[in-house]
Structure 1
Amino acid sequence: MEKHPPQEPAVATVDTPTAEVSRRTVVRRWLVLAAAAALLFWACTAVSGFFENLNGGPVRTAADYRTQDIRTREAGKAAVAGLRPGDADAPGRMSKESSTSCVDDLGADGDGVTRDQPRYAWSLDYTRKADYLAGLDRLRTSWRRHGWKVEEVPDPGDADRPTPRWPEIRTVADHGITLSMGTNWYTNKPVLSADGGCVRYRTDQGVTARKTSGAADGRTPAREGTVTYDDGVRVSIGPVRPFTPPPGGTGDDAPAAHTYLVPVTVTNGSGAPVELRGHDIGSFEHANPGVRRLTGFPAELGSGQPEQVTEGESKRLEFVYTAEKEPSHLEIQYGPGAFHRPCPWTLSIP
């Protein structure tokens, strides 16, 4: 009988993970983690955006609000210009409409934050419905030519209204501005409106100066200077000159031994009015020791109401300063209205 040497028991071979498989596993795990992180970030962003919209939208700058205000005015004026001459009642005159929705009901606006809605209306001079519909067609064609979607606004129907409303159209133009042509809800008269939406903004972040010269550089005293802002508003101050107030012209605020008149001229090259106020002018703390301003000047601001400079116009205001001891120069800050940042001025004394 043939004998065979004992055989070692066969061991089943098991496939071991290769380096390539290990790398794939690690990559897969990292991809899963990255996807989870991205999903979490998206969820946080969505929640943050929800509460931001609930509070009235993001907080922008006062300069952003003024830009949107100018754009809204220009969009409305362009729409009016697209109608037949004579369709608009006093086309150069428009009215600002108030909004009951652009309010801080939740108290979300903190210190230095406010909100407003640039919203304007132009009355249209239509007595015949056929003429009104022809004007509506002109706007509809013009808006579609711009690539804007035109919405036909249905008549909601109101049994209390004595006459039915004429058709209305609406579109969202560039920069999110809503344009519409229809009839006023209360008067039933045709109107064209432009709505720039509710804007939250910081009041201390106004339009900045793009160019300064002379005394506006704030480095060395100069007789006069000029500041030009990004929106086209220009301010010129100086030269300072000695001034003798008329008898009784200062009331109880008696002038001292040295009194000076400081002329300020504001030229509005922007697309919206500028409202000048008495507190637009000021100075740094500890500047001009012994110098004070006579608050009775300028006379245009004596009532406490702002003085408006409309588009394309200029306004000159004369501020008066007085001191017991003759100062070497005047250091002031001036920014026209609520939407322009103050600039430092260093004015020489004659």
Structure 2
Amino acid sequence: MTTISTPSPESVRRRRRGLLALIVCGVMTVFLLAAAAKAFASLAGFQVLSELEFRAHMDHTQEAGENTVRQLGLDPDSVVDTKEMASSSCVDDFGMDSGDVTRDQPTLTWTPVFADRAAYVAAVRVLREDWSAKGLTVHDVPAPAQGEPGAGLPGVRATDDHGVDLSMRPDWYSGEPVIRADGGCVRHEGYEIEWTEHEGGS
């Protein structure tokens, strides 16, 4: 007659712990592979736009920013601050780009002046309502803490249908209100294009 031994409670616990560890390792491996794939795609910069497509993206970026300024009853030309194409984060550190492919990040900023905090907060509310009405997902930007530039001034941001990041918030350095239209880091064909060469938008 064969005797069937019953596993001890301790061996059952060890097996369960081993199985749990195996499952956790599997999940972590999948997560790391997904993260690595996403990081590689980010480094590669996804698609490469033609020079014509990139110029159109510049137009969209400028127009979206100008419309944001106009929504507050201001003239974009009277408060435009800077037009930039370069960004320290928009570079090819790993040799992903080749030939005549270039990376640029078209960004425009305006520095409107508000009478007081109440006027600024009211402008934030106007933008939040306008962007929400257009079906954009709106994010509140927490006000900087006491002692930081722009302390107590909340911000607001949204991304439009062309991928342009729009925001109004205190500037990181000066603390003054800034409206920003950021077209994001884009890979495109052709040589680097400067705003002085391209005055698109409406």
Q: Which runs of 5+ in 2 are unaligned?
A: 1-34
2:65 matches 1:83: no
Q: Classify 1:116/1:89 alpha carbon distance in 2 versus 1 (closer, same or farther; 3 Å).
A: closer
**Where does 1:217-296 land on structure 2 (aligned, <5 Å)?**
275=197
Counterpart residue number, 1:72? 61
1:174 is paired with a residue whose SS is: coil
Unaligned 5+ segments in structure 1 are 1-45, 207-271, 276-308, 313-350
Q: Which amino acid aligns with 2:46?
A: G
Alpha-carbon distance between aligned partners in 2 of 1:150 and 1:127, rounded to the nearest angstrom:
25
Closer/same/farther in 2, CA of residues 115 and 146 from structure 1, 3 Å limit = same
Pick one of 124, 143, 152 that aligns with 2:112.
Answer: 124
Q: Which has the higher helix share?
A: 2
Any conservation in 1 of the 2:83–2:195 contact (CA below 8 Å)?
Answer: no
- Identical positions, percent: 38
Cα separation, 1, equivalents of 2:146 and 2:162: 33
With over 3 angstroms needed to count, the CA separation of the structure-2 counterparts of 1:143 and 1:162, relative to structure 1, is closer
CA offsets, 1:175-227, max 9 Å, x none?
Answer: 111100011111111110001111101217x9xxxxxxxxxxxxxxxxxxxxx
SS at match of 1:121: strand
Cα offset, 1:57, TM superposition? 2.2
Confirm whether residue 195 of structure 1 aligns to residue 182 of structure 2.
yes
Task: After TM superposition, give the deviation of residue 156 of structure 1 in Å.
Answer: 5.2
Q: Does 1:114 align with 2:98?
A: no
Q: Distance in 2 between matches of 1:202 and 1:112?
A: 6
TM-score (norm 1): 0.43
User: What does the per-residue CA deviation read over 1:96-140, in whole Å, with 9 as the maximum and x for residues that have no partner?
Assistant: 144211111112111211110111101111140001011111111
| Distance in 1 separating the partners of 2:167 and 2:149 | 23
Question: Partners in 2 of 1:58 and 1:158 — Cα distance?
Answer: 42
TM-score by length of 2: 0.71
How many Å apart are 1:77 and its aligned residue? 0.4
- Following the alignment from structure 2 to structure 1, what is the Cα–Cα distance between the partners of residues 146 and 90? 26
Confirm or deny: 8 A CA contact 1:124 1:192 kept in the other structure.
yes
Shift in alpha-carbon separation, 1:196–1:310, aligned structure 2, 3 A: closer
Structure 1 position 99 matched with structure 2 position 87: yes
1:186 pairs with one of 173, 184, 187: 173
Instruction: Check if 1:52 corresponds to 2:30.
Output: no
Root-mean-square deviation (Å): 3.1
Residue pair 1:52, 1:58 contacting (<8 A) in 2 also: no
8 Å contact from structure 1 (residues 89, 125) kept in 2: no
2:31 corresponding residue in structure 1: none
Contact 1:89–1:123 under 8 Å retained in 2: no
Q: Which amino acid aligns with 2:65?
A: G
Give the C-alpha shift of residue 144 in structure 1.
Answer: 0.7
Any idea what the Cα deviations from partners look like across 1:42-92, whole Å, max 9, x if unmatched? xxxx98765332222222211121111110000000010000347x7814x
Q: Give the match's secondary structure for 1:51.
A: helix
Q: Tell me, in whole angstroms, the C-alpha distance in 1 between the residues paired with 2:52 and 2:38.
A: 23
